[in-house]
Structure 1
Amino acid sequence: MATIDREIISFSKEELEGIEVPHDDPLIISPVIANFLVTRMLVDRLGLPRNLLKPACTPLIGYTGYSIYPVGITELDFIVGEAPRTSTIRASFIVVDISDPSYNRLIGRAILTALRAIVSPLHLKMKFPTIGGVGEVSGDQKRSRVYYQLSIPRGTSLRDPPK
Structure 2
Amino acid sequence: MSVARLPTEINDWESKKAKRMASPMLGFSDEDKVGTLQPHDDALVITLRIGGYDVKRVLVDQDSAVEVMFPDLYKGLNLKPEDLTTYDFPLVSFEGKTVTPRGQIRLPIQTGSDIVEVDFIVVDAYSPYTDIVARPWLHALGVVSSTLHQKLKYPLEGRVKEVIGDQAMARQCMVSAISRRPSAEPSTSTKNGL
TM-score, length-scaled by structure 1: 0.82
Higher helix content, 1 or 2: 2
How high is the sequence identity, in percent, across the aligned residues?
33
Question: Pick from 117, 123, 126: which aligns with 1:96?
Answer: 123
Question: Pick from 28, 31, 54: which aligns with 1:14?
Answer: 31
The 1-side partners of 2:91 and 2:106 are apart by 18
In the alignment, which residue of structure 2 is the partner of 1:140? 166
In the alignment, which residue of structure 1 is the partner of 2:3? none
The 2-side partners of 1:54 and 1:27 are apart by 29
The 2-side partners of 1:145 and 1:66 are apart by 23
Question: Pick from 44, 59, 64: which aligns with 2:90?
Answer: 59
The 1-side partners of 2:163 and 2:42 are apart by 15
Give the secondary structure class of the aligned counterpart of 1:29: strand
What per-residue deviation string (whole Å, max 9, x for no partner) do you get for residues 30-51 of structure 1?
1101101111473422112211
Q: Does 1:74 align with 2:74?
A: no
Paired residue type of 2:167: Q
Paired residue type of 1:143: M
Question: Pick from 127, 140, 147: which aligns with 2:153?
Answer: 127
The 1-side partners of 2:146 and 2:126 are apart by 29
1:17 positional shift: 1.5
1:53 positional shift: 0.7
The 1-side partners of 2:171 and 2:135 are apart by 23
Q: After the TM superposition, which segments of 4 or more aligned residues of structure 1 sit over 3 Å from their partners?
A: 2-5, 40-43, 154-157
1:76 positional shift: 0.5
Paired residue type of 2:34: E
State the number of aligned residues.
153
1:104/1:36 CA distance change after superposition, 3 Å: same
1:49/1:64 CA distance change after superposition, 3 Å: closer
Does the CA contact (< 8 Å) of 1:43 and 1:95 recur in 2? no
Gaps of 5+ in 1: none
1:9/1:51 CA distance change after superposition, 3 Å: same
The 2-side partners of 1:11 and 1:77 are apart by 27
The 2-side partners of 1:132 and 1:35 are apart by 26
Q: Compare 42-51 and 52-61 and name the one that shifted more.
A: 42-51
Give the secondary structure class of the aligned counterpart of 2:101: coil
Paired residue type of 1:11: F
Structure of larger gyration radius: 2
Paired residue type of 2:173: Y
Does the CA contact (< 8 Å) of 2:48 and 2:109 recur in 1? yes
1:62 positional shift: 2.1
The 1-side partners of 2:177 and 2:74 are apart by 19
